[in-house]
Structure formats: C-alpha cells, structure tokens
Amino acid sequence: MTQRIAAQELFDLHQQRLGLRWVAGQSGAMRVLESVETVARRPSLAGYLNIIYPNKVQILGTEELQWLDGLDSRARWEVIERIMQARPLALVISKEQRVPEDLREAAEESETPLWLSPRRGHELLNHLQYHLARTLAPRVTLHGVFMEIYSIGVLITGESGSGKSELALELVTRGHRLVADDAPEFTQIAPDVLDGTCPELLQDLLEVRGLGVLNVRQMFGDTAVKKNKYLRLIVHLTKPHLEPQAAGMERITGDLSVRRLLDLDVPQITLPVMPGRNLAVLTEAAARGHILRAKGVDPAAAFMARHSHFLERSS
C-alpha cells in the first residue's frame, strides 16, 4: 500500500506545534507527497533550500534568504522559477522572517504552499523530517496477536483456530501487555526496526472464541496494554496434524527460522499446539531464549561444544 500525505494534512498536524501560518499558495492545499517519490530521488524529505536536488519540503532560513538577496534580478527569478518547477510539497520560512514579495507571488501562481514559522530552521528540519519519514515509511498489516513479553515485541501467528487469542489472554493474565489483536500494523522506521501498532478501530480489544470481544484495558487496567512496540520475535503456532516429525538437530536447537517482513529478517520460532502443552510458558521461554541469543548466549551451541569436547576426551 502506497503511503501519502497532503500539504493540508501536514499543516494541520503541525500548525500548533511549529506555529505555522499559511501566507501563500493556499490553492495547493491538496498537493500530495507519496512514498514512491521518496525512493527515486537523492534528497531527503525535508531540508534547507536545494535547487540541484530539491527536497520535498524546502526550508528557507536566514542564510538562504540572504543568498537569494545577493543574486541579481535575472538570476533570482531563475532560481525561484526552478524552485517552483520542482513542485515541493511546501516551502517553510523560519524565524518569522519577512517573506519576499516575488517569492510570495511565485507561490501563488504555481499553487505552492508557503508557510511561515517562528521556529529555527534546525527545529523545523528535525521535526518535519522525523514525521514525514514515519508517515511515508513502508508498512504491512499481518494476521496475528502482537504483544510485549519481557520487554520485547512478540508477534503470535498461526492458522485460524490455533489458539492465538487464548494464548494472548493467558499471557495478559501473567502480567504481559497487549499491543494489537488480529491486524497489527508494522512500519519500518529504520533499516533494522519494525514498529508495531494497533489500528484505531481495534485499540485495547481482544477477540476470544466463546467470549467474544474483550476490552483488555477495562478488564486488566492501563498497564495491560501498550500503544506500540518494536518487533523482535515471531512465535508461530502450528496444529498437530500439520507438524512434521522433528529432525535430530531441531530437537537441540529448536524450530528456529527467519521470516522476511518488508526489508528485515525477523527471527521466528515454531511451536506445535498439542494437548497438555502450556503454550504461555513455552512462549515466555521463547522470549527469554531470544533475549539470551541477542546477548550472544546460545545454549544449543554450548551443548554441542561440550558434547564434542566429551567425545574428544573419551577417544
């Protein structure tokens, strides 16, 4: 799904925080920036005035306006024309400086939003770059239950009827926290970070067969839910009739694999669902094991090294 944001939406979201005023180009309020436009070009989403590789939100600080004032009339007109032809999402002038009249007229004619802010240029840059990067970042919606277990984000997946929601409910009663049920959304906000959130419609809700929809926040309190969490581990539940005979090494190392989500490989462990198995304890153990492996501690590797040493000593 292509992510997008309109100039009006960006203005409304940050008008109060950045003190924005719309001074020209109001007719360009519906100008849209799509995520596909951010991968085919060199520049960042927001940055100081750049007419070689123009940014999508051009920030004009004191130095940029002074540079424009130092140009002769013809060169100045050509530069402003190139700025408008690049069709930026918006131009933002920092520190409430005087808006040049020719820049205002060009913004009106080209329907380019021109905003004024009392904030300094670096404040505008940091804030807008962060927001635009998150808004336009690649994202995917998965079927499963996303939880925080021992401070790490764990996605519980499996076929319908495998017991994902029942397992999530038991984990909540054991003190862990629910992030999203059924359709968590994951956004790649950094090369190695997937941030999981819950759609607004499903916030705080958990659907359990036989019980219907439960409001976890109302039943267990505010500490039982969490707004977002980084995804670190996937626990995949499989039904017994789908579970193949475990291989020898699998008995030692566990059924470990990776699952590709967007541009990131996420560790995945598969747990067979069988009568008598305490899946909540097994999921907690899987989370603890992942934390140990992240620290460089691998019990399976240590056991195999110990076994090799024992055989060498025996021979």
Q: Catalytic annotation on 251?
A: yes
Segment 62-103, tens digit of pLDDT:
999 999 999 999 999 999 999 999 999 999 999 999 999 999
Q: Is 158 annotated as ligand-binding?
A: yes
Q: Is 207 annotated as ligand-binding?
A: yes
Residue 284: the pLDDT is 96
Average pLDDT, the chain: 89
> pLDDT band at residue 199, thresholds of 50, 70 and 90?
very high
pTM of the model as a whole: 0.76
Taking residues 162-190, what's their average pLDDT? Answer: 93
Candidate list 31, 139, 164, 229, residue with the active-site label: 164
> pLDDT band at residue 150, thresholds of 50, 70 and 90?
very high
Segment 247-279, tens digit of pLDDT:
566 777 777 899 999 889 999 999 988 888 899
Residue 242: the pLDDT is 47
Residue 267: the pLDDT is 94
Contacts of residues 105-112 at CB distance under 8 Å and 24 or more positions apart, as own/partner, are: 105/24, 106/80, 106/81, 107/24, 107/25, 108/24, 108/25, 108/27, 109/84, 110/25, 110/28, 110/84, 110/85, 111/25, 111/27, 111/28, 111/31, 112/24, 112/25, 112/28, 112/31, 112/84, 112/87, 112/88
Q: Catalytic annotation on 143?
A: yes
Residue 125 pLDDT > 90, yes or no? yes
Q: Is 315 annotated as ligand-binding?
A: no
Domains within the chain, CATH numbers bracketed = 4-135 (3.40.1390.20), 139-307 (3.40.50.300)
Q: How far apart are CA 38 and CA 268, in angstroms?
A: 31
Residue 43: the pLDDT is 58
Candidate list 17, 143, 174, 277, residue with the active-site label: 143
Percent of the chain having pLDDT more than 70?
A: 94
